[in-house]
Structure 1
């Protein structure tokens, strides 16, 4: 079965994302907030081709707030959460753009091109099976200073898996990310926003913090570029984490929408950031 068909089939599973108000997250960067709910959508239709242009390596070499170490090292004392982190906390009009399910050579390069054009860093929650197939795209993310997170190996519903299977899904993906991106991920996101206690525990054991979202663009339902742009612009605000996709089906609308709303957000005074800090 093709990867697009697998993702379409997986997205027919419905799970709720836990959301609540609560305490401050890692290093004061993330706090609890209101998240979106996964919904059903039609199978993606064919869209216009998306072309990529080579991008030079960036001078931005970033390291996670949670710390880093030698190859294979796991940060110590990662807290076990009861809820995922849903929004960011900080001064000014700061937002985070996140992209799930990739990388996909048809759409990810075009998204990276747009981010590079506006000198913006984003987060990519990748699936291990996709990352293993397209390691050059993770290398490009590393060169540009983007954050790569763990979205499991095959995008399963974690609430239906044993703890052992959850660990396998996460650890295999972390291994691939480390081999191709250059360091182990410090963030993970549950497919469908379906979190449970085992997922939080395993993620913490692997040195990762759980990150959900504040604003779901619902781009995977292919509602039209204009609709995606409107959702992001209307939902924009300080601390917002935006959920979009760069794989799992036809993501042409996601590509074109980013080209429209990103410069508008920047012109409106928003700072698009990632949960990293720069070291000298």
Structure 2
């Protein structure tokens, strides 16, 4: 979703979310057990302005593990496309934030696409190093980029749901939330034959209705650990430094392949991806 299509700026979004009482998000999903933090507020804080990430705040504090449900989330151990089974997950109260207990592994995620200007370069770079990533797509971007979406899926990347038009979820009625998530799942399923199993709230602004509706649609909520803030166009080296400094086992990195001028994000990936691999990190994607 392009920034010039939005009629509010970063401060406006943050003020709106603050008024709605959106609180912090945290969570963990693991290869052998699922861990989630303790008592949960109804909503979580905004992640970013149009086409961006959350206000800088670093990595989350420690969370208290609870008993896992029988619903398992497992990272890919190879590069074969996972078998996706349509199941109904539990209704979460916070999004997952990290992958744990899988050694030196990280997850790279890209929001707002697919965009024919930048997504193909990101896909080519990932292909060069034979790694997979997660792409949280906006439904309105899919109809004009069906072939690109198929290429992404054919390469083994996980396609997630980022709503249809990138709205502020807590400001919507439940029927609108259902429409935003449902339309996007439908268009992805129509193109790929499988609906998304993961979703991410725009701005990182979740609420109880989004968790309930997401679960009804068979999706799990995924946030992030490291926000590159690439939507601010801080410069390629700044983006690379943020990934480098935030790298660690289980980290989920947030970047963007659309929503604005993303050439810095493309260039940064070319730099930090080989660094991560040379540093012993395995770039993986989760599946159920």
Q: 2:80 aligns with which of 60, 70, 92?
A: 60
5 Å-filtered alignment, 1:257-272, equals 257-272=268-283
Which segment is superposed worse, 206-215 or 5-14?
5-14
Paired position in structure 1 for 2:207: 196
1:179-235 CA-to-partner distances (Å, cap 9, x unmatched) read 112301000000000000000000000000000000000000000000000000000
Matches within 5 A, 1:5-154: 5-7=4-6, 9=8, 13-14=13-14, 15=17, 18-20=24-26, 25=29, 28=32, 31-32=35-36, 38-39=47-48, 60-64=80-84, 67-68=85-86, 75-76=87-88, 78-154=89-165
Residue in 2 that maps onto 1:181:
192
Structure 2 distance, partners of 1:150, 1:223, is 26
Alpha-carbon distance in 2 for matches of 1:42, 1:196: 20
Unaligned residue ranges in structure 1 (runs of 5+): 44-58, 69-74
8 Å Cα contact 2:200/2:222 also seen in 1: yes
Give the Cα separation in 1 of the matches to 2:7 and 2:248.
31
Q: Per-residue deviation at 1:63?
A: 2.2
The CA RMSD over aligned residues, in Å, is 2.5
Does the C-alpha gap of structure 1 residues 30 and 249 become closer, same or farther in structure 2, counting only changes over 3 Å? farther
CA distance in 2, matches of 1:30, 1:249: 35
Q: Kindly tell me the number of residue pairs found equivalent between the two proteins.
A: 249
Distance 1:182 1:7, change over 3 A: farther
Q: Secondary structure at the match of 1:62?
A: coil
Question: Kindly tell me: are residues 176 and 42 of structure 1, through their superposed partners in 2, closer, same or farther at Cα, counting changes over 3 Å?
Answer: closer
Q: Is the 8 A contact 1:103 1:138 kept in 2?
A: yes
Contact 1:31 1:86 in 2 (8 A): no
Alpha-carbon distance, 1:138 to partner: 0.9
Give the TM-score, by structure 1 length.
Answer: 0.82
Is residue 107–residue 253 contact of structure 2 (8 Å, CA) maintained in 1? yes
Match for residue 255 of structure 2 among 244, 247, 250: 244
Residue segments in structure 2 that go unaligned for 5+ positions in a row: 38-43, 53-78
Cα pair 1:36 1:213 within 8 Å, conserved:
no
Q: Normalised by the size of structure 2, how large is the TM-score?
A: 0.80
Check 1:190–1:39 CA distance in 2 against 1; reply closer, same or farther (3 A cut). closer
